[in-house]
Chain A
Amino acid sequence: MTHHTLPTPITEDQVRALRVGDTVTLEETLYGIRDATQIHMFDHGRRTKFNLQGHAVIHTAPNLRKVERVGNNHSGYEAVCVGTTTSDRMERFTRPLMEREGVRIIIGKGGLRDGSLAAFRDLGGAYLAVVGGAAALETTWIEAVEDVDMDDLNPESLYKFRIKGFGPLLVAMDSHGGSLFAKVNEEAARRRQVVLEKLGAA
């Protein structure tokens, strides 16, 4: 159980050093991505202006307030509340996100499936679990909404956040075939019989 502080972007070696059960705090930059963003990127062939090579993305669609584009604020937004959403719906985008865009880390809640685990192994990636529904706390780790792309999809645009001390996040799926979610699912399936017998419903 090691704690890693990782300023993004990161290398393949850095992501392969992560093991399930480790914790991670991210610094510098984090990209926000969602269902519609990825449907448009991978099903409708849209390309982003951002270079996501070696970066971390979080499954999110934030609450934002419109502000003036001044100084380093190129988005015209400030964060009201930024949290995370259920990752499972975006399972089929993990591999293209890594292959085409070079993403190394996906952050979300509830976990991803075997296809993503294989992509993490083949291409060098990891899934970091953030506590879903703890968005007020998570928002305190966001310094600014620096930039935005594909904003016609608002609130499911592609956001560039500047972050400070984003974590601790739990390494829940790694590049070595480890998945805390798979372990818990197997355990639940194993306990099911006993639970049903006690209910008289086996």
Chain B
Amino acid sequence: MSLMSKTEIAPLVVTPEAIEEAAKLLYIRACKILPDDIKAGFTRLDATETDATAKTILATMIENIGVAERMDNLLCQDTGIPIFNLLIGRNVAVDGFALKEAIARGTARATREHPLRSSVVHPITRKNEHTSCGERVPVINIDFTDADRELRLEMIPKGSGSENGSFLQMLIPADGLAAVKRFVVDRVIQAGGKVCPPTIVGVGVGGTSDLCMHLAKIAATRPLGSRCSDAEGAKLEAQLSEAVNALGIGPQGLGGDSTAFAVHVETAATHITMNPVAVNIQCHSARRASATFTPAGVSIGF
């Protein structure tokens, strides 16, 4: 008796070599080409901004996107902490351990061969190996999807200015949803211009402490225009998007309407005694790149 239910279909095989090449390519590409949804976000903010200084700053950011593409250069000097999301579909054969090592090798090669600034150091000695790698870095998140014979590798160079704008509070049920909203508004005020606005404010609601923080990261790195799949979460992100853009912080914290492209919310079930909320912020250089492996080959996108 076979353990495979569909033995007649050959599984998708993705070699470590292919993953290494993709990891290298995606790190460099993500640093250079901003996703279309973020570019559209700039166009939208530029059309609605009323402050003169803010409009000048947005124009400089938009000019920079063009300069980076024309000169084949990096959008931002911060090459970030490399994050890879690995989404494994059905009927895919991978050697998971080899794959993790391949991602690290591709990251190190991008750093040495382009070259990119290695922004990664030992947390205590502060020693930089000049590979953008270290213990548990690149950060690799693995999840499974129902896509048949498809493996998707997403790359996010997460800049530190915005990553330092990360906050968690283990609120309690008696604090209610009002405290969740207050927490988000107050952390956006606290972050001010330090997180390189206009930003995507990622908010995690629920889960455990670590899951809540991870939800905030998922929210901050989701494409603009996407909505929270939970109806209550979606309501919250609409309310909070309007709220943070009424604070007047503006691009670079120098005043204006364009504080955030959006507030994104992700939710998870939580404990009867818990009401956790987390904020993780993505800067205006909201970089992403992806490679999707199927039996037809590899397609590169955002």
B181 touches A201 (CB 8 A): yes
Pick the interface stretch among A48-56, A97-105, A127-135: A127-135
In the bound complex, CA of A132 to CA of B159 (Å): 11
Interface size (B, Cβ < 8 Å)?
58
Chain B residue contacts of A183, Cβ below 8 A: 255
Q: Which of B64, B78, B179, B253 contacts A201 (CB 8 A)?
A: B179
Q: Which of B114, B128, B192, B283 contacts A184 (CB 8 A)?
A: B192
Chain B residue contacts of A36, Cβ below 8 A: 126
Provided the pairs A63-B79, A85-B77, A184-B255 are in contact, do residues A136 and B71 lie with their beta carbons within 8 angstroms? yes
Closest to A36 in B: B126
Closest to B287 in A: A133
Provided the pairs A109-B196, A136-B73 are in contact, do residues A201 and B117 lie with their beta carbons within 8 angstroms? no
Q: Which chain B residues (96-126) contact chain A, with CB distance < 8 Å?
A: 114-119, 126
Chain A residue contacts of B53, Cβ below 8 A: 170
Chain A residue contacts of B61, Cβ below 8 A: 131, 133-134
B185 touches A181 (CB 8 A): no
Q: Which of A80, A86, A198 contacts B115 (CB 8 A)?
A: A80
A184 touches B189 (CB 8 A): no
Q: Which chain B residues (244-297) contact chain A, with CB distance < 8 Å?
A: 246-250, 252-255, 283-285
12 CB-based A-B contacts, threshold 8 Å: A86-B161, A86-B194, A110-B193, A133-B196, A134-B64, A135-B76, A136-B67, A137-B64, A170-B254, A196-B182, A200-B181, A201-B182
Which residues of A approach B to under 8 Å, CB–CB? Answer: 36, 60-66, 80-86, 88-89, 109-111, 129, 131-137, 139-140, 154-155, 170, 172, 180-181, 183-185, 187-189, 191-192, 194-196, 198-201
